[in-house]
Amino acid sequence: MRVQPVVIKVGGSVLETLHSSFFQDCGHLLKKGFHPVVVHGGGPEISRLQERLGLTPQFCDGLRVTDDQGLKVAEMVLAGSVNKQLAAMFQTAGFSALGLSGVDGGLLSVRQKDPKLGWVGEVSSVCPAVLYDLIDRGWIPIVASLGMDSWGQRYNVNADSVAGAIAQALSAERLFMVTDVPGIMKGDRVLSQVTPTEVQTMIQKGIIQGGMVPKVKAALEAVETAVHEVVIVDGSASGCLMNTGTRIRKEVKTHGLISHLSAE
């Protein structure tokens, strides 16, 4: 029987402070029959390199406006330094990890999201066979959030949306969003569980903003399909893949009442 894929998105915000227990947690998941597929970002590092090169990072609705030079920098950071850093960390922790980007093997087919954003893509389809081939051979795929259209143009893609699309394509049991906060915060309180309706309200009220918006939007899309739950966790905390953070699950309506789908 094939193992169950679990998608783990590692945000650029937490790369430098990732807790060493993160890798033990990945080991526990593997032992339980859940195979990690890692997707990573690297937003802060792209901005740092742009600034060192005299370029000014520019965002529109949380997405980086990406011209020719911006795309080169995004590729250098995402498919280069960050992807290799994470692959090396997994290898050092004793795993067989293989770094690739969404361009490689035709993993991510994308289209231009909006001409005013430049080379920013949105995922139109995922080729899961690339990931299944790696999983079946025991590799942990480490995926950089880049993609390509049918004419061979490469694009910079938001890593949260890539993680959501891959989790959907693999019908992953769970999608972890590993970031630099303990979950969705309301004031100084961490919400342990939220419904898609509550998430929409919090976006409208501005309680959820900035980098948390693409995360929850990707989460909502994922739980609407085959993904059982999305969990937002703090990667700098011990045991982050074990029972902490904010869970987002699909809600079901029963006689006018909304309750969480629970498969546990």
Applying CB under 6 A, which residues contact ligand ADP? 11-14, 41, 43, 179-181, 184-185, 207-212
Q: How far apart are CA 162 and CA 146, in angstroms?
A: 9
Smaller CB distance to ligand X2W: residue 118 or 198?
Answer: 118
Residue closest to ligand ADP, measured at CB: 11
In the complex with ligand X2W, the residue whose CB is nearer, 158 or 244, is: 158
Placement of tokens 């790369």 in the chain: 15
Rg over alpha carbons for the chain, rounded to the nearest Å, is 18
Which residue type occupies 192? S
Query: Does the annotation list 156 as a binding residue?
Result: yes
> Which partner from the list ligand X2W, ligand ADP, none does 184 bind, CB cut-off 5 to 8 Å by kind?
ligand ADP
- 50 or 168: CB nearest ligand X2W: 50
Residue 43 labelled as part of a binding site = yes
Quick one: what does residue 236 bind among ligand X2W, ligand ADP, none, with the CB cut-off 5 to 8 Å set by partner type? Answer: none
Give the length of the chain: 264
Residue 27 is assigned to a ligand binding site: no
Say if CB 177 and CB 9 are below 8 A apart. yes
- 48: which 2 tokens? 């740092």
Distance (Å, whole) CA 179 – CA 91 = 21
Q: Is 80 annotated as a binding residue?
A: no
Beta carbon of residue 4, minimum distance to ligand ADP (angstroms, whole number): 24
**For residue 118, what are the β-bridge partners?**
66
User: Of 63 and 169, which CB lies nearer to ligand ADP in the complex structure?
Assistant: 63
Question: Which residue, judged by CB position, is nearest to ligand X2W in the bound state?
Answer: 41
CA proximity to 214, closest of 1, 19, 41: 41
What whole-number distance in Å separates Cα of residue 46 and Cα of residue 74? 6
Alpha-carbon dihedral of residues 210, 214, 220, 223, nearest 10 degrees? -130
Which of 156, 236 has the CB closer to ligand X2W? 156
What is the torsional sign of CA 127, 64, 90, 104? positive
Residue 156 interaction partner, one of ligand ADP, ligand X2W, none, beta carbon < 5-8 Å per kind: ligand X2W
Rounded to the nearest whole angstrom, what is the least distance from the CB of residue 32 to ligand X2W in the complex? 26
Contacted by 164, from ligand ADP, ligand X2W, none: CB < 5 to 8 Å by type? none
Known binding residues for substrate are: 42-43, 64, 156
